[in-house]
Amino acid sequence: MVVELISVGTELLLGNTVNTNACFLAEKCAILGLSLYYQTSVGDNEQRLAETIQTAQKRSDVVILSGGLGPTQDDLTKEVVANVMGKTLIEDEHTKERINDYFTKSQITITENNWKQAFVPEGAIVVDNENGTAPGVIMEENGKTVILLPGPPNELIPMFMNDIYPYLNKLQPETIYSKMVKVCGVGESTAETMIKDLIDNQTNPTVAPYAKVGEVHIRVTARAKDEEEAKKMIKPVVKELKARFGKNVYSTDENETLEEAVIKLLEKNELKVTTAESCTGGMLAARLVNVPGVSEVFREGFVTYSNKAKRKILSVQKSTLKKYGAVSEKTAKEMAKGGVFATDTDVCVAITGIAGPDGGTEEKPVGLVYIACYIDDKVTVREFNFKGNRSKIREQSVVKALTLLRECILDVYGK
């Protein structure tokens, strides 16, 4: 089954808004096993939008439009789709009541143009919006399906997952089931080389690697008559991936993040952790604090950006900073050790580096980062030379710090 995405909004064409909806929808359609050949962004123009919809209907079974369902005059999606499909817009009493309730509970006065959102194409399936006022719409005509979704991601994502995803899944003659194997500590090219034979010989299940910052995610997808059979098909492939990547596999849960996996390890081994950061400025601590319940294992996070702070808070020796510099293996070691003793914790991860764009030298270029982990009276230090802009270097540093923390725990405790 072929699906096509149309993102509506002049703000997308002008670059004022990043089109995260298309990324989300494309990923979910892939999981469903739908073939996606075209994505289009079109402005708030009636004629161009109509032409885009007509073209999409000719070559795709399902057309998903996002955006343009608001109350203002330039919100044209619903009206144009109805016109293209020869349908009249009629007032939906259920939606009107929901809009009224929404504004009443929000203590906001309803303006007349808001009632525009209560009109839907005749014969359409109306999908309630639990996070806004514009309902979703599903239209089925001559073997083709057109789906309208609101533009705001906080409305589109839950609506798609709760209602549209199950609907699309039922349209498929077979069940599609996927399992994600998440790997850290292995580069993209290395990971692909390690599974090249699986990719080259794939039929059903399929194996697809996706590069993330500092990680590689490998999706295994099977097509079968039911979910139980699909799971059986996937199981040996996942087992093989685990055998090849070993401890570098940190999760097979689609929704589990690297920081969540690390927190689980800390909890399992009853460890307390502290972070000591320089160039990342607290980004590592922020990633850890993203995890609910982290207070059970996270003691303190230090941002020791200056040499004075490194000396005062982490007890980095003045002679070390003078001889080796703030960005050095020796300084990273002392930061990690100092973090443990300053907070009486079991583990400390320290980061020091040059994020740029300035500050680099021939000896110590921009992107040079040292990451240290102190655990069980031992300090492990890694040197990295990251490429990219300041943001990219800092982001990569955090992922590598989480990876090193995980590796060190596994090396000491084995679980």
Residue 31, CA distances (Å) to 133, 171, 206, 208, 218 in order: 28, 14, 11, 11, 12
Identify whether the C-beta of residue 202 lies closer than 8 Å to the C-beta of residue 261: no
Helix, strand, coil shares of the chain as percentages rounded to 5? 45, 25, 30
CB 120 within 8 Å of CB 95: yes
Distance (Å, whole) CA 345 – CA 375: 9
Q: Cα 147 from chain centroid?
A: 24
Confidence of residue 174 (pLDDT cuts 50, 70, 90): confident
Average pLDDT of the chain is: 95
Three-class HEC string of 319-350? HHHHHHCCCCHHHHHHHHHHHHHHHCCCEEEE
Residue 398 parent element (H or E):
helix 390-413
Look-up: residue for tokens 């000396």?
Answer: 311
Same domain, 61 and 46: yes
Which pLDDT score, from 0 to 100, does residue 414 have?
Answer: 87
Q: What is the pLDDT of residues 337-384, one digit of tens each?
A: 999 999 999 999 999 999 999 999 999 999 999 999 999 999 999 999
Strand partners for 36: 3
pLDDT interval class at 173 (50, 70, 90) = confident
Which amino acid, residue 134?
A
The residues, any chain, with a CB within 8 Å of residue 369's CB and separated by 6 or more, are 279, 327, 351, 352, 353, 354, 383, 384, 385, 386, 393, 396, 397, 400
Are 143 and 215 members of one domain? Answer: no
Pick the closest to residue 74 from 104, 44, 103, 98 (CA basis). Answer: 44
- In this prediction, residue 269 carries a pLDDT of 97
Q: Using an 8 Å Cβ cutoff, are 129 and 97 in contact?
A: no
- Identify the bridge partners of residue 368 per DSSP, sorted by sequence position: 385
Question: Sign (positive/negative) of CA torsion 20, 21, 23, 24?
Answer: positive
The span from the CA of 317 to the CA of 307, in Å, is 10
Considering the domain architecture, whether residues 163 and 35 belong to the same structural domain is answered as: yes
| 270 and 296, same domain (yes or no) | yes
Task: Mark whether 22 and 44 lie in a shared domain.
Answer: yes
Number of domains in the chain: 3
Query: What CATH number does residue 35 fall under?
Result: 3.40.980.10
Element (H, E) at 14: none
What's the pLDDT at 226?
Answer: 86
Helical spans, DSSP H, in 123-282: 153-159, 165-171, 188-194, 196-200, 227-245, 258-268
Q: What is the dihedral of CA 115, 118, 120, 123, to 10 degrees?
A: -140
CB 220 within 8 A of CB 158: no
Instruction: Kindly indicate the confidence band of residue 408, based on its pLDDT and cuts at 50, 70 and 90.
Output: very high
Percent residues over pLDDT 70 in the chain: 100
Question: What confidence score (pLDDT) does residue 296 get?
Answer: 96
235, two tokens: 């199981």
User: What is the tens place of the pLDDT at every residue in 92-141?
Assistant: 999 999 999 999 988 888 899 999 999 999 999 999 999 999 999 999 99
Same domain, 188 and 332: no
CB atoms within 10 A of CB 188: 15
Name the pLDDT band for 33 (thresholds 50, 70, 90). Answer: confident
pTM of this prediction exceeds 0.75: yes
Whether residue 371 contacts residue 359, with contact meaning beta carbons closer than 8 Å, is answered with: no
Confidence of residue 30 (pLDDT cuts 50, 70, 90): confident
Residue 245 and residue 293 in one domain: no
The DSSP bridge pattern shows strands 249-251 and 175-184 to be antiparallel
- Measure the CA–CA gap between 236 and 341, rounded to whole angstroms: 46
User: Of 212, 234, 251, which residue constitutes the final position of a domain?
Assistant: 251
- What pLDDT does residue 22 have? 97
Residues 162 and 92: beta-carbon distance below 8 Å: no
Instruction: Report the alpha-carbon distance of residue 21 to residue 18 in Å, rounded.
Output: 9
Q: If DSSP codes are grouped into helix, strand and coil, which group holds residue 40?
A: strand
Q: Note the pLDDT of residue 407.
A: 97
Indicate whether 285 and 379 sit together in one domain.
yes
pLDDT tens for residues 210-240? Answer: 999 999 999 999 989 888 999 999 999 999 9
Show which of 171, 197, 228 is a domain's final residue: 171
Q: Are residues 241 and 163 in the same domain?
A: no
CATH number for the domain harbouring residue 320 = 3.90.950.20
The pLDDT-based confidence of 17 (bands split at 50, 70, 90) is very high
More confident residue, 105 or 397: 397
Q: How confident is the model at residue 31 (pLDDT cuts 50, 70, 90)?
A: confident
Nearest to 77 by CA among 18, 135, 143: 135
Cα 153 to Cα 16: distance, rounded to the nearest angstrom: 15
Please tell me the predicted confidence (pLDDT) of residue 415. 75
Last residue of a domain, one of 171, 201, 220: 171
Bond preceding residue 153 cis, omega within 30 of 0: no
Inform me whether the pLDDT recorded for 317 exceeds 90. yes
Task: Specify which of 66-75, 168-177, 320-329 reaches the highest per-range mean pLDDT.
Answer: 320-329
Do 152 and 233 lie in a common domain? no
**Chain segment 322-344, per-residue pLDDT in tens:** 999 999 999 999 999 999 999 99
* pLDDT for 40: 98
Bridge partners, residue 7, by sequence: 41, 66
CATH number of the CATH domain containing 209 = 3.30.70.2860
Do 278 and 385 lie in one domain? The reply is yes
pLDDT tens digits for 70-105? 999 899 999 999 999 999 999 999 999 999 999 998
Tens of pLDDT, residue by residue over 287-296, are 999 999 999 9
Same domain, 143 and 57: yes
Best CA proximity match to 70, nearest among 114, 121, 103 = 114
Cis previous bond, 150, omega within 30: no
Sign of CA dihedral 381, 386, 392, 396: negative
pLDDT mean over 307-333: 98
Domain residue limits at 236: 175-251
